[in-house]
Structure 1
């Protein structure tokens, strides 16, 4: 037995002796190629075999094999092996290797923690394959307008908006001379827009550093999270002969990625810590490649230029919010000042949505062309909103970058994908979530005011790319097509036209008011402004119909409603559920974000709860999260827009019962407009 054991120890030495250095390096090369293709089982087999039989443990080849083996273990989900090998490399005499190992060790421990706490999303994806090589040729379907056309139109919008405002005032000042008023407005509009064009990058930089907690990182730091990203960044900049973008990291767990600047050599590429720690290496790489696509397509420059005055107003809004948090005395004044700033910022965002939405399709195409990995981008787009809402529930402060950089970010931060709990996610259910984006008639109209393509349409295009490359797709599109065929299109469109009629009531009131206004025989009504009266009456009819015909609560759960392609953005569906209410610990000028969740899904809640109601409802926890520990009976209206939400109507348990009035503000506005119809000439 002793001699058999000794013989077993000598076998590896014998194999290493007869294996030539060239054969060993071929084994290493095969392992690295398998790792690049995300074929983790083969990569592990080749690399383990190389490390086992290679004679020189201090060789750079041996160290490279061990570092690659850590990445392969991580990709395969063998966290314990990855951590053990990483700890060994942390004691390497090579300081660069030791530093890399220590950084990766932190990431691996975070991966393990997230997997235990949230139920890792990785187990619900089969990690669809990628193309064997990069720089693949794929045809982009006709899903978007010309990018050049979108850039030209978007450049015109801010100029026209400022010109109209200036001409309205200058017309009053120079009424006899309209030509002079027009020239004056034209020159001042050019000056104002030119000034903001020049200041836009500097202004966004100031917001990054003062409000977003952005830290300008190093290339090595990004490469530690994703070596593939580092390799592509260097190759891309070398081929295009541009400087490496200035790489920023926002120290926040909520994932985001965006690019801005007016010159390719001075571009800023910023991601959050949450994105780096939550996505896998190839998913990080495809996100960075997507952002580099904006630089190559030069749309990042136009977005930065036209967002200048909007970012200026957002800077003022954040200043007002900061003032309100510091002093209760100034809270009301800060709120009044913040309202117009926020409104003008959102107006600027709305003017830029056409380019923001169009350019995403082109950046996606660029990313897939240069990585050959559409499945990684699908996974990233699904994970980002899921991780965001999980991080939001445990956050201790607001994330102003989610709103401020909404038009710049890789995806819409509050998409309905976040409605599903991570622990319940699987590709089959995910396909159901996307049906609303693809089939509901309202999706077309809502996408017109969205900063990004609806995620269902975007994933459909990415799946088309995967099929062009003969790759197995991440989602079960066959199952999606079967689910789509079971939908009753007649009911879907009948509901749409009925809701469209309801939404048109204020417009019909406006038209009726015009008829009254221009018809002398109706002057006996003594209405000083029939137009206002008509609009207010239309809104009042909306409130009355929504209240009287709300019906009884439907018998369904939150997850089923999130999947329903029949869900409406305007006609709420009354529901009654049992679950928990949770509010984040931070406050904004608009109050505390509130969420309802059961064991399957989670959804934001809109409410009219103020002041002492919060103290009555919630208790402070050591984690900083506000949560009602006992189950609540919740009644409210479910709506599906760009993101799903619940309009709270009532909540009750054995201890308390509270009623909210979701139509209250619309009722107040309707009555106010009707009164204006009697008062204002």
Structure 2
């Protein structure tokens, strides 16, 4: 069921006049790609020329101008020829000497940037020598090219006779796939795309930011502690009961009375001691398993002198001792902190972060860690890290031991054990998800306020995402260091996969517009370790505006989209069925009480307790799955299936929801961990010609062909692309070049789950 709103030409042109280029681009491209009203199509194409020119997509602007030059209407042709001439006159080949040490080219120093600034006046018909007032940003000084009604009435009325030519979109500017891919036959090898940065300035003078919301953060910190304790206690009680039940059933053994006692007092004491010793215990764990070593001050100063000044100044203001500094010898750019008090705090960064970020960007990342320490969430996350790292290491070692076994029976046993331990790690990590999300917003504000450089923090977060995606591509799997530390690093590795890998093929605003405009975006981060990165960057850009600084990205002026509510309700139908089941259970209980009071019906044997509510919840959940399944897994038809050429357009659609279930067939290389550590297929990534996309795969029971056997090979993935907080593909089939096929029966397993929930719920209702 499509969830896209009807595009409006007026809305698109209004957005263009207001400088809201990404919204204008999305709306006008939708209109230009339609076949309904030729008049609106030509107006949309004219607006798109201006949009492409102002956001730096020069090739798209030129291609569209060349299309409009062929129009038979003289006014359109004259405008297109004049604009094309001005664009080509100002377009110059980029100067490769502007590349900095990180491999990025600052936008303000590139020829494309010069063209972008100049075309803001020339394409809109303004005089070349006209000066923009300093207080007025270029984005706000632009005007949409318009023609008088007397000029346009004639050609617009008969425009439908003009042949329709497709509008060149961002996807037409993509770099071809690598030569070794099946889709790159007879194509020449091309250079990787260059990423341009505006290099927006920092504030020279700025006022303090609001401290609103700190009470909510404190409440969430307390709630995280309670949730963590409750989960540990529940698991411990279940384990104690299991052991005693086993002793009861086994001969010659008696249950241990100690295991019948309440473990709360002992558990509280143990957790308290772990909390007190967490800095030193984490020192040993990180040194033993991650190779952590001390970061000397002179080494840090060589990479970032500003960081040393920021640490000294902020710690002096707070009356702290400077935190200990450590370094991880990994190439992925990560940073985190731990410690139970400010005086015992440690800040850890990776070698990759020091090498891939610039001086001021490194300082902003260190300032984020100071914010974590100041808000005390560092202490709680440290305890969580202390509990989860040993469990993850156990999972890691069990996987290696399982790989060393040759007998299928032993490999199966280790696969089950590894999956159970991994599930335990996910469960404990899940208690800190919401705190991990919320704390990022507050610490971003601290970093901006301490450094006065929100634009530097924007670039730092984006470069971290690019670096993480590059690390996954280089290693051809997600490293265990990234996954185990994911909850504490500035940018999550899952949200980095797609964003970091397609950065060279489109503007950041185009991809991040979903995070800013989609009205249901908040529902899709409930189970994420990090907030929407687009929303984080939008808030930082808003701070830059507040301090009268031009932002690095133009995200803050976007207006939310309107999406049909029915699409979202269908998306959450299984979860919506749970409260509806509870309501239905309460209704039948009320009816039974009424009939029992009137002595018309006696069902006390069923409704003597409230267990029947559980049955109603399960039935509601089952009905929700069945209602959604046809829309969630529609038939993938060859005539409508989307390929690599359309992938980028699908990813940057701000109105998309996972329920849209776009059928895709993509070609690329399968990445992921090998062996028992990936027996649940939790680390499968497709490296296509556009970028990295997460894959969700479910195997048949007893399936002979395992997807791990295809890792590192060129494959064709057929499935349903879903755009949420993290884009992913629900796999239908994986096919190699030799014809070997691995099926992933998502719809069948959904039906099995629905039937199981239905049967279980009915059993509870009948049993009473």
Using the alignment, how far apart are the partners of 1:410 and 1:660 within structure 2?
Answer: 33
Match among 638, 657, 666 for residue 750 of structure 2: 666
RMSD after superposition: 4.2
Using the alignment, how far apart are the partners of 1:674 and 1:187 within structure 2?
Answer: 40
Is 2:653 aligned against 1:564? yes
SS in 1 for 2:664: strand
Q: TM-score, normalised by structure 1?
A: 0.69
Matches within 5 A, 1:519-668: 534=619, 537-538=622-623, 541=626, 544-546=629-631, 549-550=634-635, 552=637, 553=640, 555=642, 557-569=646-658, 571=659, 573-584=661-672, 586-587=674-675, 589-591=677-679, 593-608=683-698, 612=705, 617=710, 626-628=712-714, 633-651=716-734, 655-656=738-739, 658=741, 659-668=743-752
Unaligned runs of 5+ in 2: 1-97, 107-189, 245-258, 593-601
CA shift in 2, pair 1:509/1:152, >3 Å: closer
Identify the residue that residue 137 of structure 1 maps to in structure 2: 207
Q: For each residue in 1:610-649, what CA deviation from the matched residue of structure 2 results, as whole angstroms up to 9, or x when unmatched?
A: 764558756xxxxxxx131xxx654211123331111121
Identify the residue that residue 494 of structure 2 maps to in structure 1: 414
Q: For each residue in 1:189-237, what CA deviation from the matched residue of structure 2 results, as whole angstroms up to 9, or x when unmatched?
A: 4224223323433443344233333333322222222222233334444
**Count of residues in Structure 1 that have an aligned counterpart in Structure 2:** 545
Match among 347, 364, 368 for residue 290 of structure 1: 368
Matches within 5 A, 1:330-409: 330-395=410-475, 398-409=478-489
Matches within 5 A, 1:209-608: 209-328=287-406, 330-395=410-475, 398-415=478-495, 418-419=498-499, 421-422=501-502, 424-426=504-506, 429-477=507-555, 481=558, 484=559, 487=561, 489-491=562-564, 493-501=565-573, 503-505=575-577, 508=580, 534=619, 537-538=622-623, 541=626, 544-546=629-631, 549-550=634-635, 552=637, 553=640, 555=642, 557-569=646-658, 571=659, 573-584=661-672, 586-587=674-675, 589-591=677-679, 593-608=683-698
**Superposition deviation, residue 368 in structure 1:** 1.1
Q: For each residue in 1:70-104, what CA deviation from the matched residue of structure 2 results, as whole angstroms up to 9, or x when unmatched?
A: x997599799xxxxxxxxxxxxxxxxxxxxxxxxx
Using the alignment, how far apart are the partners of 2:216 and 2:618 within structure 1?
Answer: 43
Unaligned runs of 5+ in 1: 1-70, 80-115, 174-180, 619-625
Greater alpha carbon shift after TM alignment, 154-163 vs 372-381: 154-163
Q: For each residue in 1:354-401, what CA deviation from the matched residue of structure 2 results, as whole angstroms up to 9, or x when unmatched?
A: 332222222111211121111111111122222212210221675223
Q: Is the 8 A contact 1:141 1:461 kept in 2?
A: no
Q: Is the 8 A contact 1:291 1:363 kept in 2?
A: yes
Using the alignment, how far apart are the partners of 2:489 and 2:603 within structure 1?
Answer: 56
CA shift in 2, pair 1:444/1:171, >3 Å: same
Q: TM-score, normalised by structure 2?
A: 0.62
Identify the residue that residue 11 of structure 1 maps to in structure 2: none
Using the alignment, how far apart are the partners of 2:708 and 2:240 within structure 1?
Answer: 52
CA shift in 2, pair 1:342/1:202, >3 Å: farther
Using the alignment, how far apart are the partners of 2:307 and 2:619 within structure 1?
Answer: 58
Using the alignment, how far apart are the partners of 2:686 and 2:399 within structure 1?
Answer: 26
Using the alignment, how far apart are the partners of 1:611 and 1:226 within structure 2?
Answer: 53
SS in 2 for 1:415: helix
Q: Is the 8 A contact 1:594 1:605 kept in 2?
A: yes
Q: For each residue in 1:492-526, what CA deviation from the matched residue of structure 2 results, as whole angstroms up to 9, or x when unmatched?
A: x33212323354346656766888899776999xx
Q: For each residue in 1:394-452, what CA deviation from the matched residue of structure 2 results, as whole angstroms up to 9, or x when unmatched?
A: 216752232322222212221167346356345xx322322322233432223343333
Q: For each residue in 1:150-169, what CA deviation from the matched residue of structure 2 results, as whole angstroms up to 9, or x when unmatched?
A: 33333333344456667899
